[in-house]
Structure 1
Amino acid sequence: MVAPTLSPDEPATPETSPPSRARRAAPVLARGALAVGAGVLEYLSFPPRTVWFLAPIGFAILYWLLHGRRGRAGYGYGLLFGLGLMIPLLAWTGVYVGLIASVPLALAMSLLLALPCAAISVLSTVLPAAPVWAAMLWVAGEGFRSIFPFDGIPWGKTAFGQPDGPYVALAAVGGTPLVAFAVALTGFGLAAFVRVIVERRVAVRVIVAPALAFVLPIVAAVSALPMVGTDAQAGTITVAAVQGNVPRLGLDFNAQRRAVLDNHVKRTEQLAADVNAGRVKRPDVVIWPENSSDIDPYRNGDAREAINRAARAIGVPIAVGAVLVGDDGNPRNTVVLWTPDAGPTDTYTKRQLQPFGETMPMRSFFRLFSSTVDKAGNFQPGSEPTVFAVGAARIGLATCWEVAFDDRVRDSTLNGANLLAVPTNNATFGLTEMTYQQLAMDRVRAVEHGRAVIVAATSGTSAIVRPDGSVVANTDLFVPAALVEEVPLRTATTLSDRLGALPEWLMVAAGLAALGVAIVMRRRRRDPGREEENNGGPATEQR
C-alpha cells in the first residue's frame, strides 16, 4: 500500500484530524445558537409581555450574524431565527392536538422567514446604507407570508408585538409594514453602528449612516405619537361586549353549542338586570362573540326565540356571531344585527376564512395522510365589508382571523366605519397566549385606523380598546362577563388608510431592486476575488 502524500501546504500534524474539524465547527454552532436566541428575544417581545424593546435587540443580533455571509448561510441563520420565534409563538396551535400541528407550522413559517434573511446577507456588504435596504427586504418577507401559503398566515408580524411601544404610532402613518420597517431598521442600524465601533472605523463618513439608521426610526416613532387621535368627532356611544363563556375547554365545545348560546343569553339578561337596577349605564349596542350561536337562528325556532329574549331584555341591538347555513348546504360565519323589535336586520359574513379550521386547503391530498382533515369545515366566504348602522355609529367588523389582515380591516374603515368590532372565538386554544396575541393585533388596528375597537370573545379575553391602542377594560379568561364603556366615534381617515398598501409596495419594490443591484455587484467582484484568493491573498467574503 502506498502511503498518502501530503501537499506542501498541509502540515503533518494532528490539525487535520477530526478534533480540528470540531474546532472549526464550534463558531458555526455558536452562531447558530445565537440565531435561535435572537428569535426567542423576538418572541418575548410579543404580548402578554410588554418588553417590546427586545424586538430591535433581536434584529440587531440577526443582522450581526447575516452581515457578509453567503446567501445559503444567511438562509440557515434565518431559519434558526425563525424557529426561535415561531415555535413558542405558535405553540397554541397544538394545545389539544400536540406537536404534530404546531411544529410543522412553525417550520413552514420559518422556511419562509429565512428567505429575506438570505437576501439581506447578499446585500449587507456591497451596498451603502445596507440596513435600510435590509429592513425593506424584511417588510417584503412579511408581505409574502401574508399572502402565501393558503391565502396567507400573517401571525408573527413584527408590528403585532409593538402595541405597548412608541413604534405603534407609525401604524397611523404607514400601517403595519411601516412599523415593521422601523423596528427592523433600528435593530439593523444598531448592529451596523456597533460593528464600525468594534472595527475602530470611527471616521465621520463611516459612522454617520449606521448611527442615523439606528436613531431615526425611534425619532420618527416618537414624532408620530401626536398623529394618533382620540377625540370624539361624531359623538360617543356606549357599547357592551358580552362574554358568555363555554361549558368546558377543548375541541368538543362546539358540540355543546346550545349551552354556549344559552350562556350568552343569560349573561345579556344579567346585564339588562344591572342596567335596570342602575348599576351600569344602558348600552346603545351589544356585541356578542363569534360562534355565540352556532345554531342557525333562521332555521331553528328555539335559537331565534332565545336571541329575541336577550334583545328584548336589554332593549338595544345585538351583533350576534352565528353560523348560518346557505341554500347550498354550506355554512357561513356570519354576524347578524338583531334588534328587539324587528329581529335580524343586517348581516356581515366573514371574508377571510381560517385554513385548516373553517376550510381545508388541498383536502384530498392531506386526506392521504390523515382522515382528521374532514373535521375541518367547508365554510363559504362573504364578499362585502358590510357596516352596521346603529344610531350615529357605523360599526365595521373583522371576525377573529380577519383582524390579522391589513386590507380586511382597512376595507371597513374606508366603507364608513367610525367604530370597529372584533367578534372572536379563542376557546379552542385554552389558556395559551393566543388570545393575548390577538388582542395585540386589535390594539395595533385601533391606532392604524384611528378607531375604538370592541373585542367580544366567547371565553376571553374580551376588551374595549381606545383609538390610541390603550385598553380601557378587559375580562379574565373562561369567566362570564360583560364590559360596558363609552367610546368615541371618529370619522377622520388616517394617513395609513389614505395611502393603503402603497407604502408596503414601495418598500418591497425598493428592497427587491436593491437586492438585484447587490447580486450584480457581487458577480462583478467574484472573479477578481477568486484570483486574489488563488494567489494566496485574503478571501473577499465570509463563508
Structure 2
Amino acid sequence: MWGSERAFSLPLWASVLVAAGAGAILDAGFPDRDWWFLAPVGVALMLLALLGRSLGTGLLVGLVAGLSFWLIHIFWITLYLGLVPWFALGGLQSLFFSAGLGFTAVVLRHGQRVWPGVWGRLGVVPVIVAGLWTAREAISAVWPYGGFAWGRIALSQSESPFAPLVAWVGLSGLSFLLVWLSALAVQLFREPELARAVRVGVALGAVALLLAIPAWPTIQSGTTRLAAVQGNADAGLFAEYAPGQILQDHTSATLPLLDETVDFVVWPENASDIDPTRSAAAAQVLDYISTEMDAPLITGTITRPEDTYYNSSLLWKSGQGAVDVYDKIHPVPFAEYMPDRAFWRPFAPDLIDLIGRDYGIGTRDNIFDIDGVLAGIAICFDIADDQLVHEMIDGNAEIILAQTNNADFGHTDESVQQLAIARLRALETSRTVVNISTVGSSAIITPDGQTLDSLPTFTAGAMVQTVPLSDTLTPAMVAGRVVEWLVSGLGLAGLALCSAAARRLRRS
C-alpha cells in the first residue's frame, strides 16, 4: 500500500511470497537455463519485497529469498552427497543472504531521510544497496573455511551483453553494477512524482551507459597449439572402478592424436588415478604419451609426499618425470577435506565418515612454464577463487588451464555453472581458458569470451586447437581487489549512516 509517496510496502505475507518467487527467478538467470536477463529482475523483486520492512522482518524476507535461491541453485549437490549437505550449505549461504538483505531493508527504509533530495535518493541509495550486496558476496566467498564463491550474480552474465564489463571491474564490480541497475529501477518506482517518461529515460539511460562501454582489447603475444583430452571416465568421488581405469580412459582418448603436432597435452583433474610419482607403471604410461606426442603432458593426480594427500597437477616430460607440481590451494571443505571433524561428526557421523581422506592445502605457485609458455593452473574450484586468478596473472600467465572433474554431478547444472565461471575468467583476464573435464563440460574459450572448441558431455574426445596467448593486463587485473573493497566500503558506510538515522528516529 501507499502511505505517502515513496512509502510503498507490501504486507509481510506478500513480501515473503515475493521473496520466495524472486529467489527462483534469480536462479533462472544462471546456467543451465541461462536466461541472464532474469537475474536483475530477481534482485529487483527482492528489493521490492524489502520496502517498508524493519531489520527484523528484512532478515526474514532475506532468509526466504536466500533459501529459495540457494536450494534450487545447488540442488546438484544431492546427486552424490544427499539432502543433509545440500540443506546445510544452502542454509549457511541463506544466512549470509538474510543478513545482507536485512541490512539492505534498513537502507531502503531510512536512506530517504539521509539523502532526501530526489537525485540523492536516485544517485546514492542504489549505490549503497549495490555495495551491501557486493560486500555480502565478498564475505561469503572467503569465509568460513575459505568461503563458497558460487552463486555471485555476476556469474549469471557469462552469455549476456554485460559480460565484457568484467574486464574493467572484475566479478565483484560486475555484481555491483547489476545490482545497481536493479536498485535504481526500484528507486525509480518509488518516485511517482517524477514523470513516467523521465523514469523510463533514466532507467534506459543507465542500461545504455553500461552497454556503451567497449570490450577491453586483447593484444595477442603469440600462439600455442594444444590438445585437451576428455576421457569420459567414471571418476566420481565415490565411484567404484579398478585402479588405473581413469588413466586408461584418458590414454585411450589420447591415442588417436599421436599424429598431431602440439606444444603440450592437457588432461583433467585426477586423470591419472594412480600417482605416477609413486608408481613406475603409471609413470611409464605418461612417458609413452609424452614421447609419442613429442610434447609435455599436464595431468591431474593425487599425490602423497610424506603423510599428506594433495590434489595435484603435474607437468610431465618423458624421461624427466614431474618437472613441476601444483597442489590445489583451495580444496573444497566437506568434500575434499573435513574441517573441524571432531565438532561436525556428532551431527552426521555416517556422512562425515564418508570423507575418509583429507587433502592438504597447497603452498606452491599456480604457474607452469611449459617450454616457455607460462600457464596458470586451476584445479576445479580454484577457478572461482578471485585471489588465485589474480596470482596467475601476477605470475605472468599467458593462458589458463582449468582442470576439473565433474563426474559426481551427472547431467546437472554444476558443470555448466563452472563453465560460465571459466568464460567470465577469460574475459576478465583477457586470456584463453581451457576448461577440461573428465566428463564435461569441456571447452576452449578465447580472450573475447567466444567458444573456440567444445566436447559433448559424457563422450570421450579431444580438442586440438591453436590458441592465442596474451600478456595483456586488463583494468580488473591491475586493480586487483580494490574495486571490491571500494564498493563494499561504500555500502557499509551508507549502512552506518542509515543505522544512525534509525536510532535518532527511535529516540525522537
**1:298-330 deviations in Å (ceiling 9; x for gaps):** 111111111111212222111010111111x22
- Structure 1 segment 97-112 matched on structure 2, within 5 A: 97-112=81-96
AA aligned opposite 2:101: C
Q: Report the Cα offset of residue 384 of structure 1.
A: 3.0
Question: Do the aligned partners of residues 381 and 79 (structure 1) sit closer, same or farther apart at CA in structure 2, a change above 3 Å counting?
Answer: same
Q: Does 1:244 align with 2:231?
A: yes
For the pair 1:266 / 2:265, whether they are aligned, the reply is: no
Quote the Cα distance in structure 1 between the aligned partners of 2:375 and 2:452: 19
Larger Rg: 1
1:427 paired to 2:413: no
Q: What is aligned with 2:336?
A: 358
1:272-283 to structure 2, matched below 5 A, reads: 272=258, 276=259, 281-283=260-262
Q: Provide the C-alpha distance between the structure 2 equivalents of 1:98 and 1:372, rounded to a whole number of angstroms.
A: 9
Q: CA distance change for structure 1 residues 353 and 326 in 2, over 3 Å: closer, same or farther? A: same
Post-superposition Cα deviations, 1:156-204, rounded to whole Å, max 9, x if no partner, equal 01111110112222211121111101111111111221232xxx31169
Q: CA deviation at 1:416?
A: 0.8
CA distance in 2, matches of 1:519, 1:497: 34
Number of the residue aligned with 1:62: 46
Matched, 1:95 2:79: yes
What's the CA shift for 1:77? 1.1
- From 188, 199, 204, the equivalent of 1:193 is 188
**8 Å CA contact retained: 2:15, 2:50:** no
Residue 323 of structure 2 corresponds to: 345
Go from structure 1 to structure 2 and tell me whether the alpha carbon gap of 1:256 and 1:28 turns closer, same or farther (over 3 Å shift): farther
8 A contact 1:352–1:401 mirrored in 2: yes
TM-score (norm 2): 0.91
State how far apart, in whole Å, the 1-side matches of 2:227 and 2:95 are. Answer: 42
CA contact (8 A) 1:322 1:333 kept: yes
Runs of 4+ with deviation above 6 angstroms? none
Query: How far off its partner does 1:97 sit?
Result: 3.2
In structure 1, stretches of 5+ residues that fail to align are 1-25, 529-543
Which is worse superposed, 217-226 or 115-124?
217-226
For 2:300 and 2:444, the matched residues in 1 are separated by: 18
Between the aligned partners of 2:206 and 2:321, the Cα distance in structure 1 is: 51
Is the CA contact 1:186–1:215 (under 8 Å) kept in the aligned structure 2? no
Q: What letter corresponds to residue 259 of structure 1 in structure 2?
A: Q
Amino acid at match of 1:317: P
Report the Cα offset of residue 476 of structure 1. Answer: 1.6
In structure 1, the partner of 2:5 is: none
Mapping 1:134-173, distance limit 5 Å: 134-173=129-168
Match of 2:18 in 1: 34
Structure 2 unaligned segments of length 5 or more: list them.
Answer: 1-9, 112-120
Counterpart position of 1:78:
62
Partner amino acid, structure 2, of 1:243: Q
Work out the CA distance in 2 between the residues paired with 1:137 and 1:254: 45
Q: 2:213 aligns with which of 208, 212, 224?
A: 224
Counterpart secondary structure, 1:333: strand
Which of 455, 458, 476 aligns to 2:456? It is 476
Match of residue 239, structure 2, among 236, 253, 262: 253
**Mapped pair 1:465 → 2:445:** yes
Shift of residue 215 of structure 1? Answer: 4.5
User: What is the correspondence of 1:494-533 to structure 2 with a 5 Å cutoff?
Assistant: 494-528=474-508
- For residues 393 and 147 of structure 1, the distance between their equivalents in structure 2, rounded to whole angstroms, comes to 31
Asked whether the equivalents of residues 268 and 314 of structure 1 are also in contact (C-alpha less than 8 Å), the reply is no
Deviation at 1:98, TM superposition (A): 2.2
Out of 72-81 and 366-375, give the one that drifted further.
366-375
- Whichever residue aligns with residue 254 of structure 2, its letter is T
CA distance in 2, matches of 1:190, 1:435: 33
Cα distance between partner residues in 1 of 2:482 and 2:218:
25
Match of 1:202 among 194, 198, 206: 194
Given candidates 278, 287, 292, the residue that maps to 1:299 is 278
The AA in structure 2 aligned to 1:169 is: P
Distance in 2 of aligned mates of 1:250 and 1:417: 30
Residues 512 and 254 from structure 1, CA distance in 2 versus in 1: closer, same or farther, beyond 3 angstroms? farther
1:7 paired residue number: none
| Distance (whole Å) between structure 1 residues aligned to residue 81 and residue 95 of structure 2 | 22
Distance in 1 between residues matched to 2:143 and 2:421, nearest whole Å: 19
Amino acid of the structure 1 residue aligned with 2:215: P
TM-score by length of 1: 0.86
- The structure-2 alpha-carbon separation of the partners of 1:379 and 1:255, relative to structure 1 and needing over 3 Å to count, comes to farther
Partner residue of 2:309 out of 323, 328, 331 = 331
Counterpart CA distance in 2 for 1:437 and 1:350 is 20
CA distance in 2, matches of 1:69, 1:44: 26
Q: Which one is further off, 123-132 or 171-180?
A: 123-132
Q: Residue 333 and residue 96 in structure 1: after superposition, are their counterparts in 2 closer, same or farther (change >3 A)?
A: closer
Q: Distance in 2 between matches of 1:240 and 1:223?
A: 37
Q: Deviations over 1:59-97 (max 9, x none)?
A: 111111112210111111111111121111110111123
User: In structure 2, what residue type is equivalent to 1:34?
Assistant: V
Name the amino acid aligned to 2:67. L
Letter in 2 for 1:318: L
SS in 2 for 1:166: coil
Q: How far does residue 506 in structure 1 lie from its aligned partner after superposition?
A: 0.9
Following the alignment from structure 1 to structure 2, what is the Cα–Cα distance between the partners of residues 179 and 160?
Answer: 9
Render the CA deviation track for 1:388-441: whole Å, top value 9, x for unaligned.
122442101111011111111110111010100100011011111100000000
Alpha-carbon distance in structure 2 between the residues aligned to 1:132 and 1:165: 22
Percentage of identical aligned residues: 31
Shift of the 87–240 alpha-carbon distance from structure 1 to 2, 3 Å rule, reads: same
SS at match of 2:81: coil
Is contact 1:169–1:222 with CA below 8 Å preserved after alignment? no
| 1:385/1:396 contact within 8 Å kept | no
Q: Is the 8 A contact 1:290 1:320 kept in 2?
A: yes
SS at match of 2:360: coil
Of 84, 98, 120, the residue aligned with 2:104 is 120
Q: 1:254 to 1:381 in 2, by over 3 A?
A: farther
Aligned partner of residue 96 in structure 1, secondary structure:
helix
State the match for 1:43 in structure 2: 27
Change (3 A) 1:257 1:473: farther
Q: Is the 8 A contact 1:289 1:320 kept in 2?
A: yes
Matches within 5 A, 1:485-496: 485-496=465-476
Cα deviation digits, residues 421-475 of structure 1 (max 9, x gap): 1000110111111000000000111111110001110111111011122222211
Q: Distance in 2 between matches of 1:500 and 1:423?
A: 24
Deviations 1:37-78 (A, max 9, x none): 111111011112231110111111111111221011111111
Deviation at 1:101, TM superposition (A): 2.0
CA distance in 2, matches of 1:67, 1:420: 44
Letter in 2 for 1:136: G
RMSD over equivalenced CA pairs, Å: 2.0
